[in-house]
Amino acid sequence: MTKRHVFTIAVAAAMLCGFARQLEAKIIVSKDADYVVPVAITGFSGEASSILKFDLYVLGFNIVDPSQAEFEVSGSGNGRVEGRLTVLATKENLFARAYNGGSTRSQAHALADDVVKQIRPELPPIFHGKVAYRVRQGGNAEVGVADFDGHNATIVTHDNSLVAYPAWLPGKFAVLYCSWKNSGTQIFEHDLSTGSRRIFIHSPGSSYSPAVSPDGKKVAMVLDRNGTPNLYAADIDGGNLKQLTFGKDDVSGPSWAPNNQDIVFATRSGRASLTKVNINGGGPQKLRVGGAEVYGNLTQPNWSPDGKWIVFTCGSGPFSICVAPSSGGEAKALVSGEDPCWAPNSRTVIFTRDINHKHVLSLLDVPTKHVKDCTQNSGECSQPAWAR
């Protein structure tokens, strides 16, 4: 065979491989959000198997026997993860891939992301996400950071005091949080890569509940400058401080809309309720939510990244996680818990719940109400924030 023939065959093979990849990319099976997808996982063992089962359950899949499944994820995780997604009724292979580099854990997460991408293509991947949260051990609390499923957990502050309300800076490995380290309550910016820290804003009285806008340019926070907590916004460097509320009601828990202009927060004058305000003016407006399942105080709102929903806590203990349209209207209770925060996919919520009188972090698939615990720390964990 001549070199020319070898070259021609190689080019043809490359074109066929490229065509196969194009075909694979076009095979998308889209399921409704509340459809519980029956899937079989075969051939995997140990860590790879447990990760696939955890991840897919969190995104609304049920792990079942192949005889009851609609899809099968088959493969192996020995040395490197290899996986194939098949439609069992037709024996159609949706993809077959090998994953190189990184740990078995990272490769299994990547396979799970690809499975979700084929069956729920509207969802951005979340299985390599990070969360920050409050860890309480004894009389002190610190900020912890972990993978979305609770693994690789580490304590990142050492204030030997109380801390609260960690909030990620978008696109950075850094958080804002509030600390009682210097006797009063102050908001700190903490770079997780270098460990460097600075006071975010110097203000008389207490400062707490930082929330960073999705574009990373603004920070909303609660400042108690004259005896009454009010909502303020500032630039990301702490400049151009602007007061947004002027009432005597307590305010707490601000969260930004994806338009970087609107903020939802809780106000309390007797029974706590939800309120919206635009940073460009117009004054606060009550967010009207109701329903037979919503009761007591409405607090801890969190705006979904797609702008459609607000998840919040209702009740006065025990508490429930509720969700309502961001424009207001009928709200639904989902599960018992508090401190809800949306994942970047606007479907998954991380929250706090009580297990045997201990606060743990858990993941909730909102449409199917699937719940998985994800705390790995020994202390009490609460106030989770998902990196975006």
- Can you tell me the distance from the alpha carbon of 74 to that of 24, in angstroms, rounded to the nearest whole number? 17
All CATH 3.40.50.10070 domain ranges in the chain, comma separated: 33-128
CATH fold group of domain 33-128 = Rossmann fold (3.40.50)
User: Which residues are bridge partners to 132 per DSSP?
Assistant: 145, 385
- In our burial notation (b when 16+ CB lie closer than 10 A, e otherwise), range 164-195 reads bbbbbbeeeebbbbbbbbeeebbbbbbebeee
Going by C-alpha positions, the residue among 78, 125, 143, 127 that lies closest to residue 104 is 78
Q: Among 86-100, 166-180, 366-380, whose mean pLDDT is lowest?
A: 366-380
All CATH 2.120.10.30 domain ranges in the chain, comma separated: 130-386
First to last CA, the chain: 55
Name the pLDDT band for 29 (thresholds 50, 70, 90).
Answer: low
Q: Is the pLDDT of residue 14 over 80?
A: no
pLDDT score for 327: 96
- Can you tell me the distance from the alpha carbon of 34 to that of 365, in angstroms, rounded to the nearest whole number? 9
Condensed to tens digits (0 to 9), the pLDDT of residues 254-309 reads: 999 999 999 999 998 878 999 999 999 888 999 999 888 888 999 999 999 999 99
- Can you tell me the distance from the alpha carbon of 241 to that of 218, in angstroms, rounded to the nearest whole number? 10
| Cis peptide leading into residue 38 (ω within 30°) | no
Name the pLDDT band for 28 (thresholds 50, 70, 90).
Answer: low
pLDDT score for 301: 98
Q: Which residues are within 8 A (CB) of 66 and not within 5 positions of it... i.e. 6 or more apart?
A: 40, 42, 72, 88
Contact 266, 300 (CB under 8 A): yes
Structure tokens at 388: 């975006």
- Can you tell me the distance from the alpha carbon of 352 to that of 285, in angstroms, rounded to the nearest whole number? 28
Contact 157, 143 (CB under 8 A): yes
Structure tokens at 99: 């994953």
pLDDT score for 227: 81
pLDDT score for 357: 86
Phi, psi of 280 (to 5 degrees): -95, 5
Q: Rounded to two decimals, what is the model's pTM?
A: 0.90
Please give the order of strands across the beta sheet that includes 206-212.
206-212, 218-224, 230-235, 242-243
User: In terms of CATH, what superfamily is 130-386?
Assistant: TolB, C-terminal domain (2.120.10.30)
CA distances from 326 to 251, 260, 371 (A): 19, 14, 23
Name the pLDDT band for 150 (thresholds 50, 70, 90).
Answer: very high
For residues 194-207, average pLDDT: 92
User: Which residues are bridge partners to 59 per DSSP?
Assistant: none
pLDDT score for 30: 64
